[in-house]
Structure 1
Amino acid sequence: MNERKFYVSIETGEISEAKAGNNDDFVIYGGPEDIISLRECFDDLKRAEADTGFRATIPFKEYHQDDENDAYDYLFMKGYKKIYELGDAETKHHIESMPFFDQFEKIDDD
């Protein structure tokens, strides 16, 4: 397989072969299909983030009864799961220390 090294920032949604600025939160190795899949996840996450912002303008809607926030949380964990699967040893170790790591089995790999 033709896997290459990428630097990833989930906060900014950046996936780059060149290390620049703060884009190196995580190091992953993947082929074109892997990177396309991660990019699609980041794009979905960005849309879900916009939906939660709109939802926040609705008064008296509680967070725990909010489909938009549930979708955002799911996509956030899906992104981290994908980064974990493609990550180097340091990336895997860092993500394993996160409090939601044990929830990855609930995330579909589609």
Structure 2
Amino acid sequence: MDKRKFYVNIESREISELKAGNNDEFVIYGTPNDIIELRECFEDMEHADMGTFWRSHMPFKEYHRDEDNDAFDQCFLKAYKMLYELGDENAKQHIEQLPFYEEFNKIQ
């Protein structure tokens, strides 16, 4: 399959073929299947994020013993790993500077 150019903003979880506003945090090149997988990863992040929101209202549940936080962290790392693998040279250079870059080898 042919790879197409996409603009990604990980904070807003936006993936678009059209550059608009601030959606060009990362430029990636991917197949439709790559983009589906990245969208699913963003959806998993959203789901885990909602779980962490509800956990925050339970003061008796500790952060480090929260499955939703662990799930969010895993999805977050997976999304950045995908952005690195699909990204242009600027995306790769930016991601290599992030403190969690070395954690990518632990992701399946």
TM-score by length of 2: 0.96
Distance in 1 between residues matched to 2:30 and 2:67, nearest whole Å: 32
Identity of aligned residues (%): 60
2:42 is the counterpart of 1:34: no
Provide structure 1 residue ranges, at least 5 long, that are not aligned to the other structure: none
Number of matched residues? 108
Shift of 1:60: 2.6
1:77-92 mapped onto 2 (5 Å cutoff): 77-92=77-92
Runs (4 or more) in structure 1 with deviation over 2 Å come to: none
Per-residue CA deviation, residues 62-83 of structure 1 (Å, 9 max, x unaligned), is: 2112111111111111100011
1:65-80 aligned at under 5 Å gives the runs: 65-80=65-80
- Residue 47 of structure 1: SS of its match in structure 2? helix
RMSD across aligned C-alpha pairs, in angstroms? 0.8
Compute the displacement of 1:61 (Å). 1.9
TM-score normalised by L of structure 1: 0.95
